[in-house]
Structure 1
Amino acid sequence: MNALELLYFTDPMCSWCYGFSPVLRELRERHPDRFSLSLITGGLRPDETRAMPAHMGLEIASHWKHVQEASGRDFDFSFFEKYPGFVYDTSPASRAVVAAWRMRNDCALDYQDELQKLFYARAENPTILQTFERAAAGIELDVEEFRDMYNDKQTEDIVRGNFGLSFELGIRAFPTLCARRDHELFIVTQGYLPYDMLEERLRKVGEQVHSRSRASNEAQSGEAC
């Protein structure tokens, strides 16, 4: 049986995506041949230019506590005190994830998680090249090559293509995990799930995908007759 193709629509500055990363890593480790996972940077707040007011930072930090309770991940809640007037532009971090993916296409999830740990757990600025390079070094990517890839125009083009795909498909909630068969998408989850619940969703979606595939094959056989 062919591996089920999964599309993961995410954003490196999405706290629920940070919470979901260990779940997806566990899925990948338990079933390396059962699923193929492609990460797509969906654009949570692309090209934001407005400084965040203090009350919004407090609201987001409160939201992080829910993620921490659900996922058990570490957070440094002093981030918005450390960066007053922070501009929550997710485009540069998305570009960094794509740059890492272009260097080694199996490392996008690991790179995003490393960058998220610097942001959420260590209160480092997730919009600047210095942080992106530190994340690259953290997963043993060549930092100079990463910098060149980050600055390459094709990387930006891929990022914009990812944003456009998410918009076209109407995916504005992250994390969103879909299964794909041919040109048809099957939603596995829109939002965080613990591992056991994700396994059950994938089992049901897998049955749906394979049932649709069998029906299509039978229809084609009937046409041939």
Structure 2
Amino acid sequence: MKKAKLLYFYDPLCGWCYGFSPVIKNLEEEYKETIQFEAISGGMVLGDRVKPLSEMKDYLKEAMPRLEEMTGVKFGEPYLKVLEEGSLILDSELPCIAMTVFKSMTNKSNIQFASTLQSTLYDKGISLNEVENYQSMAEKFDLPWEVFKAKLEDSTYKEKTYQEFQLGQQSGINGFPSVVLMVENQAYLIARGFRPENELKNVIEEILKKEEHTS
């Protein structure tokens, strides 16, 4: 069988990615024996996009009910309080660097780590801008905190993270979540935005079957 890889382009601050998290985790669980999964950080909120939550509050409060209805996820009460208060700064940089550090330290599922980053903010209402807030996440995956912290503050991993942002841009990814299934050198964009699990399974099965016949 041809080698297959699924690239999950996401951002830790992307609400729709939070909603998509159960879908992508279930897909990895189902296909982990045949497809390699990788989360690719998007860098959605950088530079002049960095701003306090208060500036996005009205938009988010309008969008959240539809997101919850479509995806089945719920935003946690602690996050809703943080949203109401509004002073939290939205910045993708540090949580995206954390993903780069995670990948450098373990072969454990980075899809699971992406989900942990998102639930830390959107369920528990914990800021992703503070280095110390990553200790419990690192320990959840049995990673030594002192090593994780040192890498998190090392400019090398910041550089690698920005290179990862370019990967998405070069692939023509302009929204999150996006999912690309690679079979050998053939790339299939199978999701741009939220897509239900059953639809994605059908598409994956179709592609794998087609590629099998052409091998």
Bin of the TM-score, shorter chain as denominator length: 0.7 to 0.9
Question: Are 1:80 and 2:83 counterparts?
Answer: yes
Output the TM-score relative to the length of structure 2. Answer: 0.87
SS in structure 2 at match of 1:159: helix
1:63 equivalent in structure 2: 63
* Shift in alpha-carbon separation, 1:67–1:53, aligned structure 2, 3 A: closer
After the TM superposition, list the runs of 4 or more consecutive aligned residues in structure 1 that deviate by more than 6 angstroms: none
SS in structure 1 at match of 2:44: coil
1:167 equivalent in structure 2: 169
1:98 equivalent in structure 2: 100
Comparing 21-30 and 70-79, the one that deviates more: 70-79
- In the aligned structure 2, how far is the partner of 1:68 from the partner of 1:143? 34
* Aligned Cα root-mean-square deviation (Å): 2.1
**Correspondences of 1:139-218 after superposition (within 5 Å):** 139-210=141-212, 214=215
1:111–1:136 Cα contact (<8 Å) kept: no
Q: How far off is 1:177 after superposition?
A: 0.6
* More contact order relative to length (CA 8 Å, sep ≥ 6): 2
2:28 equivalent in structure 1: 28
2:2–2:211 Cα contact (<8 Å) kept: no
Task: Return the letter of the residue paired with 1:132.
Answer: Y
* Shift in alpha-carbon separation, 1:165–1:2, aligned structure 2, 3 A: same
Output the TM-score relative to the length of structure 1. Answer: 0.84
1:97–1:108 Cα contact (<8 Å) kept: yes
Q: How far off is 1:52 after superposition?
A: 3.4
1:10 equivalent in structure 2: 10
Aligned length: 212
- In the aligned structure 2, how far is the partner of 1:72 from the partner of 1:53? 23
Q: How far off is 1:31 after superposition?
A: 2.2
1:8–1:37 Cα contact (<8 Å) kept: yes
- In the aligned structure 2, how far is the partner of 1:42 from the partner of 1:208? 30
SS in structure 2 at match of 1:69: helix
* Shift in alpha-carbon separation, 1:140–1:83, aligned structure 2, 3 A: farther
Q: How far off is 1:116 after superposition?
A: 1.1
- In the aligned structure 1, how far is the partner of 2:143 from the partner of 2:28? 21
1:4–1:36 Cα contact (<8 Å) kept: yes
- In the aligned structure 2, how far is the partner of 1:20 from the partner of 1:75? 13
- In the aligned structure 1, how far is the partner of 2:175 from the partner of 2:34? 26
Deviation digits for residues 189-218 of structure 1, max 9, x if unmatched? 11112221110121233345446x54xxxx
- In the aligned structure 2, how far is the partner of 1:153 from the partner of 1:58? 35
1:114–1:138 Cα contact (<8 Å) kept: no
